[in-house]
Amino acid sequence: MKSRCCFFIFINCLLVPTSAIASQLEVSGMNLLTLTINVSVSIILLYTLVSLRQNKIRNNKADARFDTMQLQLEDISRQNSRLQKENTTDSLTGIGNRAHFEITYKMEWDRAFREQKAIAMLMIDIDHFKRINDQFGHTEGDQCLVAVALAIRGCLHRASDRLMRFGGEEFAVLLSSTDIEGVRLMSSRILAAVKSLEFHQTFQLTVSIGGASLVPGKSKDSQCFIRLVDDALYRAKDAGRDCFELVENKTLLDMDIMQK
């Protein structure tokens, strides 16, 4: 508003002297025309400058609002990422939790199905964990969980290998593009790594493992695969613990029958 007032005042200042000059000076028609054109051009230039200044002010305000909104969106994005990580991370061990397992497992299963490559799973359970809590206390039990998680993680050397806490004292490992021999090798490696831990003088830490590998097909159910691996884990428990059991190929071939 202030800029517009200045604009009209300036126009009046230009127009009044123009008429006065034309009446007081003996000027030719050409000079008067030139003077009029100059004044008109000056008015147009001034209007243009005022408009540009107003547009610049509006643009600066718009840019400031845009920058503020962009900062707010970035802050919200960071908060969402942090919350998502917290929701999918086990607070005790720092590895993925059950929710992370569900997300990762579906993603890996779908990828293996598309690419027709093997997906392998290991279910790992700490032996006699209840006895650890009863005999040494829950603080020692928590330390045991952390130590076992670190030992298992140390056995995973590929970026695609995933370790998650499945629940309680049970862990899950997902291995992409890994056949049954790879599962056997990884199981042996984990058994040795956990057994080498110095947990307590009067207690030897061990784990039991169930494992399997298959190439997903249309007749194969992902949840049925989890149940088969879990069954293999409990066979390892029944076999005396501190060992692993693998799902046989025949059982995997019969998955489509079993799920019915």
Look at residue 14 and tell me if it is in a domain: yes
| pLDDT at position 111 | 95
What is the arithmetic mean of pLDDT over 123-144? 95
Q: Are residues 166 and 207 in the same domain?
A: yes
Look at residue 91 and tell me if it is in a domain: no
**Among 61, 86, 111, residue at a domain's last position:** 86
| pLDDT at position 50 | 72
Look at residue 139 and tell me if it is in a domain: yes
Per residue, the 3-state secondary structure of the chain, as one string, reads: CHHHHHHHHHHHHHHHHHHHHHHHCCCCHHHHHHHHHHHHHHHHHHHHHHHHHHHHHHHHHHHHHHHHHHHHHHHHHHHHHHHHHHHCECCCCCCECHHHHHHHHHHHHHHHHHHCCCEEEEEEEECCHHHHHHHHCHHHHHHHHHHHHHHHHCCCCCCCCEEEEEECCEEEEEEECCCHHHHHHHHHHHHHHHHCCCCECCECCCEEEEEEEECCCCCCCHHHHHHHHHHHHHHHHHCCCCCEEECCHHHHHCHHHHCC
Number of structural domains (the chain) is 2
Q: Are residues 44 and 155 in the same domain?
A: no
| pLDDT at position 107 | 95
pLDDT digits (tens, 9 = 90+) for 235-249: 999 999 999 999 987
pLDDT at 23 over 50: no
**Among 86, 118, 149, residue at a domain's last position:** 86
Look at residue 243 and tell me if it is in a domain: yes
Q: Are residues 82 and 102 in the same domain?
A: no
Q: Are residues 169 and 212 in the same domain?
A: yes
CATH of the domain at 119: 3.30.70.270
pLDDT digits (tens, 9 = 90+) for 208-238: 999 999 999 887 889 999 999 999 999 999 9
| pLDDT at position 53 | 75
Domain extent at residue 200: 98-258
What is the arithmetic mean of pLDDT over 10-35? 50
What is the arithmetic mean of pLDDT over 25-31? 50
pLDDT at 104 over 90: yes
Query: Of 251 and 94, which is predicted with more confidence?
Result: 94
What pTM, to 2 d.p., does this model score?
0.69
Look at residue 93 and tell me if it is in a domain: no
What is the arithmetic mean of pLDDT over 180-190? 97
Look at residue 92 and tell me if it is in a domain: no
**Among 41, 62, 86, residue at a domain's last position:** 86
pLDDT at 2 over 50: no
